[in-house]
Amino acid sequence: MPHAPQTAVVRLLQRLTEARNIRPGERVALTAKSAVVPARLLAQALALPSAQQAHPSAWHWFHNQNLPAATPAAAQARAAALATAEAAGLKDGTPAAGHEYLHLFEQGKLLPGEVCMGLSPEVHVAGGLAALGLRLTLGDLAHTGPAATLEFTVPHTLRVNLTGRAPAGLGGFDLFWAIARECGLDSLCGHALEIAGDGLREISLARRLALAEFAAHAGLAAIYVQPDALLVSEINRRLGEAGTLRAYETVTAEAGAEYAQTRTLDLARVQPLVCAAQDPTSLGPVGERAGARVDRVIMAGTACSLESLRLAAGRLKGKTPACTLDVVPATPRDFSLALAEGLISTLVESGARIHPPGLGSALLQDGPQGQTWLTTLAYPPQTAAEVLLCSPAVAAASALAGSLAHPDAPVLLPPRDSKLSSKHRPL
Pairing of strands 273-276, 386-389: antiparallel
**pLDDT score for 47:** 80
Determine the pLDDT at residue 265: 97
pLDDT at 267: 96
The answer to whether 200 touches 230, Cβ cutoff 8 Å, is yes
Domains for the chain: give ranges and CATH numbers.
Answer: 8-69+77-268 (3.30.499.10), 275-401 (3.30.499.10)
Q: What is residue 387's predicted lDDT score, i.e. its pLDDT?
A: 95
H, E, C per residue of 12-62:
HHHCCCCCCCCCCCCEEEEECCEEEECHHHHHHHHCCHHHHHCCCCEEEEE
What pLDDT is stored for residue 192 in this prediction? 98
Within 13 Å and on the Cβ side, how many CA atoms surround 302? 29
Contact (CB, 8 A) for 199 and 165: yes
Q: pLDDT of 301-358, one tens digit each?
A: 999 999 999 999 999 999 999 999 999 999 999 999 999 999 999 999 999 999 999 9
Q: In this predicted model, what pLDDT tens digit does every residue of 39-59 receive, in sequence order? A: 888 888 878 776 655 566 677
Neighbours of 368 (CB within 10 A): 12
Q: Check if the beta carbon of residue 279 is closer than 8 Å to that of residue 185.
A: no
Instruction: Please state, for a pLDDT cut of 70, what percent of the chain lies above it.
Output: 92
> 153-184 in b/e burial notation, b at 16+ Cβ within 10 A?
ebbbbbbbbbebebbebbbbbbbbbbbbeebe
- The residues, ordered by sequence, that sit 6+ positions from 31 with a Cβ below 8 Å of its Cβ are 16, 17, 147, 148, 149
Nearest partner of 358 among 78, 83, 103, 61, judged by Cα = 103
State residue 204's pLDDT score.
Answer: 95
CB 322, CB 296: distance < 8 Å: no
CB neighbour list of residue 160: distance below 8 Å, 6 or more residues apart: 179, 182, 183, 193, 194, 195, 196, 197, 262, 263, 264, 265
Angle between the 205-213 and 229-242 helix axes, to the nearest 10 degrees?
100
pLDDT in tens, 265-295: 999 999 999 999 989 889 999 999 999 999 9
pLDDT tens per residue across span 209-218: 999 999 999 9
Q: 245: pLDDT confidence band, cut at 50, 70 and 90?
A: confident
- pLDDT of res. 417: 45
How many other C-beta atoms are found inside a 10 Å radius of the C-beta of residue 17?
16
List 263's β-bridge partners, or say none: 160
For residue 354, the 8-state DSSP code is: E
Question: Residue 312's closest CA among 275, 270, 348?
Answer: 348
Residue 101 CA neighbour count, 13 Å, CB half: 29
Which has the closest alpha carbon to 400: 344, 278, 333, 318? 318
SS3 of 256, please?
coil
**Mean pLDDT on 137-141:** 81
Please give the C-alpha separations between residue 284 and each of 55, 94, 177, 268, 296, in angstroms, as whole numbers: 44, 38, 10, 17, 20
Separation between Cα atoms, residue 21 and residue 253, nearest integer Å: 14
350 phi, psi to nearest 5 deg: -75, -15
Q: What is the DSSP string of 226-255?
A: PP-HHHHHHHHHHHHHHT---------PPT
CB 387 within 8 Å of CB 375: yes
User: What is the distance between the alpha carbons of residues 38 and 150, in angstroms, rounded to a whole number?
Assistant: 19
Percentage helix, strand, coil for the chain under 3-state DSSP, each rounded to 5: 35, 20, 45
For residue 281, what is the enclosing H or E element?
strand 279-285
Is the model more confident about 99 or about 69?
Answer: 99
Residue 425 has pLDDT above 60, yes or no: no
- State which of 69-83, 133-147, 260-274 shows the largest mean pLDDT: 260-274
